[in-house]
C-alpha cells in the first residue's frame, strides 16, 4: 500500500495561512539558506507522486512549468514537472504534464489511489484536502516546515485531535525546522 504524506509550511503557532489566506511569509527567510534549498530540492526529487487540491494545483501549475521556475530553482522545477501529479477538483481540466484529475468522492478516490501500485504520495499544501484526508484516517505522515513566524490566527490542517509520534527533525540556519510525524 502506498503511503500518504502531507507536506505543509506552518507558522510556529500552527497555521498554514494567515487570517486573510496569505502564505507569502512561508518562504521569506529560506531563500538565503543553501542547506535548506538543497533539502527542498532533494525532497522535490524524491520520486514520489504529488497530490494537490484545486487552489494549490493552480498556484503550482502557474509557476513550476515556467522558465522563471527553471531559472530560480532548476532542481525543484525538474522534480515538480516530471512527477506524477493528481488534483482533487470537480471543475478544472489539468494541463500540467503528468497530471490526472481524481474523480468522484475525495476520500474514496484517495483510498483507491493508496491501494493501487505506484510510488508514495505527497499532498502539498492543500489544507482543506489535508484536513479531510486526516479526518478519514488516510494520512500516514505529516511533514511540516515550521517557519519562525507567529501569525496569531489563520487556518490549520487539523480538524480533530490526532496523536502523532516524531519520526524525524532537522533545523536549518534560516530558522526553519523540518519535522516529520507519523501515526
Say how far apart CA 132 and CA 125 lie, in whole Å. Answer: 13
Angle 133-138-140 (CA atoms, 0-180°, nearest 5)? 115
β-sheet with 177-182: strand ranges across: 99-102, 85-88, 49-53, 121-124, 4-11, 141-147, 177-182, 165-171
Partner residues linked to 7 by β-bridges:
124, 143
pTM score, two decimals?
Answer: 0.89
CATH topology of domain 4-182: Dihydrofolate Reductase, subunit A (3.40.430)
Per-residue pLDDT of the chain (183 residues; tens, 9 = 90+): 999 999 999 999 999 988 888 888 887 666 678 888 888 777 776 778 999 999 899 999 999 999 999 998 888 888 899 999 999 998 999 999 999 999 899 999 999 999 999 999 999 888 889 999 999 999 999 999 999 999 999 988 887 888 999 999 999 998 999 999 998
Domain ranges for the chain = 4-182
Say how far apart CA 66 and CA 158 lie, in whole Å. Answer: 32
Amino acid at each position: 500500500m502506498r503511503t500518504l504524506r502531507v507536506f505543509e509550511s506552518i507558522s510556529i503557532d500552527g497555521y498554514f495561512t494567515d487570517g486573510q489566506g496569505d502564505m507569502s511569509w512561508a518562504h521569506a527567510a529560506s531563500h538565503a539558506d543553501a542547506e535548506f534549498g538543497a533539502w527542498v530540492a532533494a525532497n522535490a526529487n524524491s520520486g514520489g507522486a504529488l497530490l494537490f487540491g484545486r487552489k494549490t494545483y493552480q498556484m503550482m501549475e502557474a509557476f513550476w512549468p515556467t522558465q522563471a521556475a527553471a531559472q530560480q530553482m532548476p532542481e525543484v522545477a525538474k522534480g515538480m514537472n516530471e512527477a506524477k501529479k493528481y488534483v482533487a477538483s470537480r471543475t478544472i481540466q489539468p494541463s500540467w504534464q503528468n497530471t490526472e484529475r481524481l474523480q468522484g468522492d475525495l476520500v474514496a478516490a484517495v483510498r483507491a489511489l493508496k491501494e493501487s501500485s505506484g510510488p508514495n504520495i505527497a499532498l502539498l499544501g492543500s489544507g482543506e484536502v489535508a484536513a479531510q484526508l486526516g479526518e478519514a484516517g488516510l494520512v500516514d505522515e505529516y511533514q511540516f516546515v515550521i517557519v519562525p513566524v507567529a501569525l496569531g490566527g489563520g487556518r490549520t490542517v487539523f480538524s480533530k485531535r490526532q496523536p502523532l509520534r516524531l519520526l524525524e527533525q532537522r533545523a536549518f540556519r534560516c530558522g526553519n525546522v523540518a519535522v516529520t510525524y507519523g501515526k
